[in-house]
Structure 1
Amino acid sequence: MLGAIIGDIAGSIYEPVPVRTKNFPLFTAQSRYTDDTVLTIAVAYSILTGQDYTTSLKYFGRKYKAPYGSNFYDWVLSASNAPYNSWGNGSAMRVSPVGFAFDFVDDVLAEAKKSAEVTHNHPEGIKGAQATALAVYLARIGESKESIKAEISNRFRYNLDRTLAEIRPTYRFDVSCQGSVPESIIAFIESKDFISAIKNAIALRGDADTMACIAGGIAQAFYKKIPEKMIIQAKAKLPLEFLRIITYFNSKFN
């Protein structure tokens, strides 16, 4: 899941100020983790401990300040645990640990749905989480990009036949699963390595941190290695509690 977190941190400064080139630094002094990282950690914590997703998401959401969506933050602070029918990409940005931790397609899909529907119980919110988790899982077990593309396209009816060059001229900021998850997967499909997957996602000039988070999780699973310098830079920006959870998760599932 560290690939997703690195994507989040790298994209954090390019959401408010989009870049029009792929020639940009992935880490600056202003780069920071956002809600994508906090909630990815929450999902990993639930998987590791068996704590239900609602409790973990609310615990981490209340403890760590981040630019949460207004509906999610209202839910975090509310006494109610009822989901709010979201189709936003928050369900997809936090789901990568599921793709690393579960070993069969049906289990990945069921757990991704479980992690999403505590907040994102809209069909598109569930679909975005399942597509992302399944892409991570398929990449992790060694499936080719062609196979991953075919499986996600056929199962979820996402149009992955577009190229980044075709998408970029008219693409706009979009926080919906249906308007950002397919594009994030295409950013991975067109990548040459982990770094280019992150840059592809950010250079679309959309929801940069979340799209790079989604692409980064899949890219880590596929390429297996993240440049050591990036790992060091990312970890330097994370709280000790996050680092402990990442270390424990990696010891169990990597």
Structure 2
Amino acid sequence: MAVFGALTGDILGSTFEFHPWRGGADALNFFPAGSFPTDDSVLTCAVAQALIDAKRPGGGVDHARFARTVEVRLREFARAHAGAGYGGRFIRWMLMDDAPAYGSLGNGSAMRVSPCAWAAQSFDEALELARLSAMPTHNHPEGVLGAQAAAAAVWWFRDGRSAAEVRGLWAERFAGLGTLAPLSTLAPPIPNDVTCSGTVPIALEAALESDGVLETVRRAVALGGDCDTIAAIAGAVAEGAAPVPDFVLSRVLALLPEDLRQTALAFEAAFPRAYCTSETARNEGGPRREDTRRKDTHG
């Protein structure tokens, strides 16, 4: 289901943001006692609900309506889950109906954006919906770019792009956020960098180096730092290649509050999972839907 990669990563990382995991990534269980959906899950569902609200009867998304609705839904969902772990500036914004965007370049725009990549009918539309989803709060150029980069990565995985292709596309479009580097160059626990530039490239690299959602989010959480958000973004990207396996999906659904659960399921019904149909050659390695699904279902 198309928003559950983000939710899986967020929930797995929820207990480790301030107490980094010290073991191997493979040893992380789904899910440790005390795991919970944080602000990443709440606001991902808020964006999903805004896209549902803006869906045209004949298909597609009304961009003007989405731009109006997403601001309302972000406040509504955040207020309903006030203890989910928001930053100070976001809290001030969510409590004031007329508060303007506050120019954030933080990773909040990237962690909530993945529904835009599934509601979009083209790559360019995915980028535009991502921009609109960021603007209520993260209207700094890096905040917008971070949202677009995360949405683009989901789209590329949906398109079955090879790792080499994704790296080339990233260098062409999103070098402003930094270069992609192997996870082996990082020494966990990494610093708690909550900017888009300090988060999105690492999350994408985790997805590129892994097979499927489960391996991706385990590696992301094991890095430390702002691990719930890194894992939420990375899980969302990996889900572009293959769904979250059923045994994890059922646990995610059980941990979600009823309103978030219903929104996530309604989004799947409104925007059914569909892969892109690019004819690009895919024989250079990287994510493969068939391989990913097989490995994920074995946990």
- Give TM class, smaller chain: over 0.9
Show the counterpart of 1:70.
88
Matched, 1:162 2:162: no
Match of 2:18 among 13, 16, 19: 16
Residues 1-254 of structure 1: pairs in structure 2 closer than 5 A: 1-20=3-22, 21-22=24-25, 23-50=27-54, 52-65=69-82, 66-157=84-175, 158-168=177-187, 171-222=190-241, 224-253=242-271, 254=273
What's the offset of the Cα at 1:170? 7.8
Give the whole-Å Cα distance in 1 for the aligned partners of 2:79 and 2:37.
Answer: 15
- Letter of the structure 2 residue corresponding to residue 61 of structure 1: A
- Letter of the structure 2 residue corresponding to residue 182 of structure 1: P
SS of the equivalent of 1:61 reads helix
Number of equivalent positions: 253
Equivalent pair of 2:212/2:239 in contact (CA under 8 Å): no
Give 1 or 2: higher helix fraction. Answer: 1
What's the offset of the Cα at 1:149? 2.3
Equivalent pair of 2:11/2:228 in contact (CA under 8 Å): yes
What's the offset of the Cα at 1:183? 0.6
Gaps of 5+ in 2: 55-65, 274-299
Give the whole-Å Cα distance in 1 for the aligned partners of 2:181 and 2:156.
Answer: 21
Greater shift in the superposed pair: 87-96 or 62-71: 62-71
Equivalent pair of 2:10/2:231 in contact (CA under 8 Å): yes
Give the whole-Å Cα distance in 2 for the aligned partners of 1:170 and 1:251.
Answer: 38
- Letter of the structure 1 residue corresponding to residue 144 of structure 2: I
What's the offset of the Cα at 1:177? 0.5
What's the offset of the Cα at 1:29? 2.2
TM-score, length-scaled by structure 1: 0.95
Instruction: Calculate the aligned-residue CA RMSD, in Å.
Output: 1.4
Equivalent pair of 1:54/1:81 in contact (CA under 8 Å): no
- Letter of the structure 1 residue corresponding to residue 209 of structure 2: E
Greater shift in the superposed pair: 119-128 or 144-153: 144-153
- Letter of the structure 2 residue corresponding to residue 213 of structure 1: A
Percent identity between the two aligned chains = 38
Larger radius of gyration: 2
Give the whole-Å Cα distance in 1 for the aligned partners of 2:187 and 2:245.
Answer: 27
What's the offset of the Cα at 1:92? 0.3
- Letter of the structure 2 residue corresponding to residue 24 of structure 1: L
Deviations along 1:133-186, one digit per CA (max 9) or x if unpaired, are: 011111112222322222122201044441101023583111000111111111
- Letter of the structure 2 residue corresponding to residue 228 of structure 1: D
- Letter of the structure 1 residue corresponding to residue 43 of structure 2: L
Equivalent pair of 1:11/1:26 in contact (CA under 8 Å): no
